[in-house]
A and B are shown apart, each in its own frame.
Chain A
Amino acid sequence: MKKSKFASLFLSSTLLIGILAGCGSGEEAGSSSEGGDTIKIGANLELSGGVASYGTSEADAIDLAVEEINAAGGINGKKIELIKVDNKSDAAEATNAAIKLTSQDKVTAIIGAATSGNSVAQVQIATDTKTPMISPSGTSTTVTVGEDGKVNPFTFRTAFIDPFQGTVAANFASKELKVKTAAVYADNASDYAKGLAAAFIKDFEAAGGKIVAEESYVAKDTDFRSNLTRIKSANPEFVFIPGYYEEVGLIVKQARELGITVPLMGADGWDSPTLVDLAGADALNNTFIITAYSSEDPDSKAKEFSDNFKEKYGKEPNSFNALGYDTVYLLKDAIERAGSTDGTKIKEAIEATDQLELVTGLYSVDENHHPIKSAIIIEYVDGSQKFKTKVNP
């Protein structure tokens, strides 16, 4: 989801070049199915392998959305035909799956993959075959913007990008909590954390706040007390800790032991039940995280989704479920407005998406194909997550 996989990307792109060279000019670009009485949509997801829980969560919700749309008469009178392919949590397999979907099945659009690395592996194929591709949960900027800074014309995403969470945290701290000073304690070994920290500092200062301490740690550390002591003596009113739960759990525990009682905040990297075990329920009080979706969101659309999902699968939906579900509706909206199954027209329609109401909030697209959308703030209360507020763009 977050960690970029440059090595596998490289591998898969070399593989792709090989495959394309092997194919020669046999495949005609842009030959998505025109006419017929169904709209074929491909889902290229991690149904097995290391991150299968993300992919299968999304697949469940995609099934639900497709069923609903078909039951309500389909898109422009045409039923959706969903073609699911397992990319085995592997970038090379994701590339192969995308080739199969575009050349054999001739799908109108592709949903997936769940992680950034496997999504990036499909970018070249989406561009070459003019097939719109939407990654529900790929949060790295590289999914939609190439290394050269150019936007990949046919790729989109449903989830917000990593640095956006830093912006949300800065707004929450300055507007909701009304704090004037903050400290940042970031994982220096992860691009994810560094991106969030930079965005937070920029926006918090722009809102008139002051960063009083900036500390960093390295993943796998266990002793954070000396940095936390420095933070404590700087006396901030708020501490932003972008990082992953394995270290954050210990940081929160040690911070509370040292007498840091101010609100602590992180992003989706905190979101794991293990966090509660590591930090302890007491220490987590007065901490906040950002997520894309909460099943407690009182919004009527989110409530309806949550009820339907529970009825079909017998469990509370998580944010991957919600993002998978939203991706189908995002695509449906674009195809309806395009009035066609032509890839380029759908792409233009997605680009023009403005304030579309989805389960995870209002959705618009910016010029980098990043979404401008709502984020949800969750507060930990005695070890469980409570819906706090929704921040609209």
Chain B
Amino acid sequence: MEWIQQLINGISLGSIYALIALGYTMVYGIIKLINFAHGDVFMVGSFIGFYSITVFGLGFFPALILSMAACALFGVIIERIAYKRLRNATRIAALITAIGVSLLIEYGVIYIRGAQPEAYPDVFSNRSFEFLGAQISMQSILILSVSVVLMILLQFIVHKTKTGKAMRAVSHDTEAAKLMGINVDNTISATFAIGSALAGAAGVIFGVYYTKIDPLMGVIPGVKAFVAAVLGGIGIIPGAMVGGLVLGVVETIVSALGFSLWRDAAAFIILILILIFRPSGIFGKNTREKV
């Protein structure tokens, strides 16, 4: 019984990592930028959801959609202001800018509203029911189902729509895509919009599931999502999902074995091992990078 419960705990945690990792991996896949500000977009999304529920009195789903829309816009603004002009700069310059943007968002939010934590309102039934002797809360089911729906939606966008086709083309070869008449700038903006919307959704779900939100809440999940993306193969969408779930389950198992203080360490040991033995991740093909 205990193990079924632990598995459920792990999957719930993993779905949140997976949702954040999806945005991470998309941006990396298209413009090879490790967007360290992604975790902070997640935080902003969580606060937008919080204020739309408490101030505007919206329900869970309207708040989720509002937060996704606002984060999509926010992501595009970040890209246009901070990253666009660095597109041909060195990778390290873009990386350092991303770290700068991350700190700017974190401390900007602290400046506006202070650093004190906030308790998410109870918008979703707190009810839980028994399943094979384990307790499953409605919230766990909600997280998993929203994550799965968004992932399916994302796969659909990437593989079936024109924008998705353009994204794949830009990812494959930016120059050639440009020659074929694809508007690269708009495609990259669309990538940021979709990735940030997913982070916003993850923020609202996180708030509902874990109750406590604060301006620095994006830091650890952001790093964990990065690990998840690398684990699954950075740039690969199903890889991010699997990587997130695996990471969540592994962390839970480590705690379940009685090593709860080693939980974060386990995540980083996974990162180190994967970088040593399979740098392209679980789903990645071992190709040399173009020079």
Number of interface residues of B (CB under 8 A): 28
B125 → A minimal CB distance (Å): 11
B10 at the interface (CB under 8 A from A): yes
- Among A100-108, A213-221, A342-350, the stretch that binds chain B is A213-221
CB neighbours (8 Å) of B255 from chain A are 226-227, 230
A355 at the interface (CB under 8 A from B): no
A233 at the interface (CB under 8 A from B): yes
CB neighbours (8 Å) of A220 from chain B are 220
Interface class of chain B by DSSP: helix
CB neighbours (8 Å) of B135 from chain A are 257-259
For chain A, give the interface size range.
Answer: 20 to 34
CB neighbours (8 Å) of A226 from chain B are 6, 9-10, 251-253, 255-256, 260
Kindly state the separation between the CA atoms of A232 and B119 in the bound complex, as whole angstroms: 25
Q: Is the CB of A223 within 8 A of B212?
A: no
B44 → A minimal CB distance (Å): 18
B289 at the interface (CB under 8 A from A): no
A136 at the interface (CB under 8 A from B): no
B185 → A minimal CB distance (Å): 37
B183 at the interface (CB under 8 A from A): no
Q: Is the CB of B210 within 8 A of A223?
A: yes
Nearest opposing residue in chain A for B4, CB measure:
A229
Q: Is the CB of B260 within 8 A of A222?
A: no
A272 → B minimal CB distance (Å): 11
Nearest opposing residue in chain A for B136, CB measure:
A257
CB neighbours (8 Å) of A258 from chain B are 5, 135
Interface residues in B1-28 by Cβ distance below 8 A to A read 1-2, 5-6, 9-10, 12-13
Q: Is the CB of A250 within 8 A of B211?
A: yes
| Known interface pairs A250-B211, A278-B119; A229-B2 also in contact (CB < 8 Å) | yes
- Which of A227, A233, A246 lies in contact with B260, CB distance below 8 A? A227
B126 at the interface (CB under 8 A from A): yes
Kindly state the separation between the CA atoms of A331 and B256 in the bound complex, as whole angstroms: 52
CB neighbours (8 Å) of A257 from chain B are 126, 128, 135, 137
| Known interface pairs A230-B256, A233-B1, A257-B137; A188-B119 also in contact (CB < 8 Å) | no
A53 at the interface (CB under 8 A from B): no
B181 at the interface (CB under 8 A from A): no
Kindly state the separation between the CA atoms of A220 and B122 in the bound complex, as whole angstroms: 21
Q: Is the CB of B13 within 8 A of A223?
A: yes
Interface residues in B133-186 by Cβ distance below 8 A to A read 135, 137
CB neighbours (8 Å) of A246 from chain B are 117, 212
B73 → A minimal CB distance (Å): 27
A274 at the interface (CB under 8 A from B): yes
| Known interface pairs A218-B261, A280-B122; A229-B211 also in contact (CB < 8 Å) | no
A369 at the interface (CB under 8 A from B): no
B64 → A minimal CB distance (Å): 19
CB neighbours (8 Å) of B261 from chain A are 188, 216, 218
Interface residues in A206-263 by Cβ distance below 8 A to B read 215-218, 220, 222-223, 225-227, 229-230, 232-233, 246, 249-250, 253, 257-259
CB neighbours (8 Å) of B212 from chain A are 222, 246, 249-250, 278
A281 → B minimal CB distance (Å): 10
Nearest opposing residue in chain B for A283, CB measure:
B126
CB neighbours (8 Å) of B253 from chain A are 226
A277 at the interface (CB under 8 A from B): yes
Interface residues in B244-261 by Cβ distance below 8 A to A read 251-253, 255-256, 258, 260-261
CB neighbours (8 Å) of A250 from chain B are 210-212
- Which of B9, B117, B119, B217 lies in contact with A225, CB distance below 8 A? B9
A contact residues vs B (CB 8 Å cutoff): 188, 215-218, 220, 222-223, 225-227, 229-230, 232-233, 246, 249-250, 253, 257-259, 274, 277-278, 280, 282
B contact residues vs A (CB 8 Å cutoff): 1-2, 5-6, 9-10, 12-13, 117, 119, 122, 126, 128, 135, 137, 210-212, 217, 220, 251-253, 255-256, 258, 260-261
8 tightest CB-CB pairs across the interface, nearest first? Answer: A277-B119, A226-B255, A225-B9, A233-B2, A222-B210, A226-B252, A278-B119, A229-B5
Please list 18 pairs of residues, one from A and one from B, whose beta carbons are closer than 8 Å in the complex, sorted by A's number.
A188-B261, A217-B260, A225-B9, A225-B13, A226-B9, A226-B260, A227-B260, A230-B2, A232-B2, A246-B212, A250-B211, A257-B135, A257-B137, A259-B135, A274-B119, A278-B117, A278-B119, A280-B126
